[in-house]
Amino acid sequence: MLNNRTMIAALCAVAVVFGVVLQRASADPVKDTLVIDGKKMITETKPPEGHPLDVVRSGWLYREKDTRELEADSFENPGSLYVARGAKIWNTVEGSAGKSCASCHNEAAKSMKGVGASYPKWDAAAKRPINVELQIDKCRVENMGAKAYKFDDPKQRALTTFIKHQSFGMPVHVDLSKGDLKAWWSKGKDEYYTRFGQLNLACASCHELNNGKHIRADHLSQGNANGFPTYRLKQSHMVSLHNRFRGCIRDTRAETPKAFSDELMALEVYVTWRGSGLSVETPAVRQ
Amino acid sequence: MTLTRRQALALSAAGAALTIVGWGEGAHASPKAAADDIAKFTGGKTAEQGKIVIELPEIAENGNTVPLSVSVDAPMTEADHVTEILVVAEGNPNPGVATFHFTAMSGKAEASTRIRLATTQNIVAVAKTSSGKIYTASKLVKVTIGGCGG
Amino acid sequence: MAETPKIRVPKTAKKGEVVEIKTLMPHIMESGQRKDKDGKPIPRKIINKFTAEFNGKPVFSTSLEPAVAANPYLQFFAKVEESGTFKFTWTDDDGTVTTAEQKITVS
C-alpha cells in the first residue's frame, strides 16, 4: 500500500538529484473556461461515486496560457490537421472488400457520435475490453479485408483522432455494467495504485497525491484520458493514450507493457472512468 | 534521507532517460554565430535599439513549440515601410529562425509563428526599413526540460 | 497523401482595411538534428519559403529555417484596396510547391 512518507521521500530524492526543489505548496490549476467555437467544454466536474478526488479536472487546466489558447482556437490547434487527415482516411477505400469506413458508416458526424465518449466497451467475442484503436482494427480485418494497423501508425492516430472528435464536448461515460468491464476496472484500479519501476512510483503517486504540484518543470495534472489522442507540443504530433501510458511507465524505469496488452487495457478502463463527466476534448493540446 | 546505492543508480539512469532527445545536444550556437547572421543581414551597419515588439512567453511550456510574434509600429506606406524582420535564436544549434518580408501592401509590420528553442536563450529580432533604418530588440525565453511521460 | 493547408481569410472587407490572415500547413519540418534508432541523422526536410500574393502582387513572404515548429503556423496582415484573390505558396526543400487560393470581396 502507498506510504505517504516513503513516496514523498522518493520524489524529494528525484528532486535533489536534479537540483530542483519540489514545491510543497500547490501550484494550483488555473480558473479558466474552455470555449471552443462557442461550445463550452466541461473541464471541471463532480466525480462519480467511489472516486477518490473531490473534483475531476481536465489536464487543460494545468497547462500554461499559450498552450491553453492553442487548444481553444480550433483553427490554430495543430490537432485539427489530423482530424482533417482522419476524415480523408475515413473516405478512402482500402482492403479486399473494396470498402472505406464511409461505405458502412456513412457520415461520421452521425454514426460515430458518442463513440469517443463511451469507449472502451466490452468485446464479447474477444472477452476483453475494446478501445477505438482496436475497434478500427476489428472493422478493417473483419469487414474491409484490410490489415490491422501497426500500433501508433500515423493513419491509426489520425483516424482515432477523427473518430473521437465526433464526440467533441460530450461528457465521458463508460458503461461498466457491460460484460466483465467491472472486473477489468478493478484490475486497472489495482495497477493505478501499484508502484512500478526503479523509481517505485505508482500512477497515483503523481496524479492523485501530487496533481497541481511540479515534477521538475512539468505541472502535474490528474492524468485524465478525455483529450486523447492529444497533440503534444513535445512530439509535435498526435500522441495516443497507450503511447502515453508506456511513456510514463518507462519513466519510472519499469519494463513497459505492450500497447493494448491486458495491463494497459485494464488501465484504460480505469483511467477513463477517473475522468467521467469531463468533455471529450480530442484533439486536446498538451505539453 | 540517505539514498541507497540502488536508488542513486536508478535516479541517475532516470536522469539520462529524461533529457531532451534529438535537438542537437552539445551542438549549441553561440551569440557569436547569431551576431554573424545579423551582420550579414544588416551589412555591418549598427542597429538602433527598440521599436520592435517581440512577444514570447517568459517560460516556454515546451521548447518544441513556442509562439512568437514580432511587430514594428510603422506607417507601411510605399515611401516608408518595414521591409524585413530577421529573427535569430542565440542558443539554438543554428541561430536562424525566420525572415519575414513585408511590402506596403502588408498594412502592418507584424507576423506570428511558432518556433523551436533548444534551451533558455535570447531571441533577437532585427528590422530593416525602406528608408534605410535598422532596429533591433531581444527577449529572454526560459526553456525547461519537462517532467515525465514519453 | 497530398497535404492541404488551412487558411483563414475574411470573406469581405472595406476598401483600405487591413485584414488578418492565418495559415497552418501540415508538415513535419524535419530539422536535420534528430537521429534515428540506429543513431543515423535523419535528413532535413522543411518548408523553407512561404509567399502571399494578392491579385498577382507580393504582399508578404517568409523564409523559414528548421527552428520553425512542425505544422508551420503563419499569421500576417494585408491591406486590401479592391476585390480579388489571395494566392499562397509553400515550398518544400525537395522543390514541391503547395498552393492555395482564397477570394475576398472588397467594397
pLDDT value for B20: 40
Residue C38 lies in a domain: no
Q: Which long-range contacts (CB under 8 A, 24 or more apart) does A253-261 make?
A: A253/A197, A253/A198, A253/A199, A253/B10, A253/B13, A253/B14, A253/B17, A254/A196, A254/A197, A254/A198, A259/A151, A259/A152, A260/A131, A260/A133, A260/A134, A260/A151
Tell me if chain B has a CB within 8 Å of the CB of A203. no
Q: For A174-235, where are the E strands, in sequence order? A: 214-215, 218-219, 230-232
Residue C78 lies in a domain: yes
pLDDT value for C80: 97
Domain that holds residue C92: 6-33+43-106
The residue to which cell 528590422 is assigned:
B127
C22/A75 touch (CB, cutoff 8 Å), yes or no:
yes
Residue B149: band (very low, low, confident or very high) from pLDDT cuts 50, 70, 90: low
Domain spanning A4-65+171-286: CATH superfamily: Cytochrome c-like domain (1.10.760.10)
Do domains A4-65+171-286 and A79-165 share one topology? The answer is yes
Which residue in A63, A217, A246 is closest to B147 by CB distance? A217
Domain boundaries, chain B: 5-143
ipTM confidence score: 0.96
Domain spanning A79-165: CATH superfamily: Cytochrome c-like domain (1.10.760.10)
**How far is residue A61's CA from residue A41's CA, in Å, rounded to a whole number?**
12
Let me know if A12 is a catalytic residue. no
The C-alpha angle C76, C77, C82, rounded to 5 degrees, equals 145
State pLDDT tens for residues C82-98: 999 999 999 999 999 99
Q: How many residues are given for chain B?
A: 150
User: Which of 77-96 (A) contact B at CB < 8 A?
Assistant: 78
Domain boundaries, chain A: 4-65+171-286, 79-165
pLDDT value for A122: 98
C24/A237 touch (CB, cutoff 8 Å), yes or no:
no
Catalytic residue among A101, A203, A206, A248: A248
Query: Neighbouring chains of A at 3+ CB pairs within 8 Å?
Result: B, C
For the domain made up of B5-143, give the CATH fold.
Immunoglobulin-like (2.60.40)
Name the pTM for this structure. Answer: 0.88
CATH code assigned at C69: 2.60.40.10
Which residue in C1, C6, C69 is closest to A88 by CB distance? C1
Tell me if chain C has a CB within 8 Å of the CB of B138. no
Query: Neighbouring chains of B at 3+ CB pairs within 8 Å?
Result: A, C
Which residue in B96, B101, B117 is closest to C62 by CB distance? B101
Q: What is the mean pLDDT of residues C4-12?
A: 96
Q: How far is B6 from chain C (nearest CA, A)?
A: 28
State pLDDT tens for residues A125-166: 999 999 999 999 999 999 999 999 999 999 999 999 999 999
pLDDT value for B148: 67
Count structural domains, chain C: 1
Encode chain A (287 residues) as per-residue pLDDT tens digits.
556 555 555 555 554 444 333 443 446 889 999 999 999 999 999 999 999 999 999 999 999 999 999 999 999 999 999 999 999 999 999 999 999 999 999 999 999 999 999 999 999 999 999 999 999 999 999 999 999 999 999 999 999 999 999 999 999 999 999 999 999 999 999 999 999 999 999 999 999 999 999 988 889 999 999 999 999 999 999 999 999 999 999 999 999 999 999 999 999 999 999 999 999 999 999 99
Average pLDDT, chain C: 96
Residue C1 lies in a domain: no
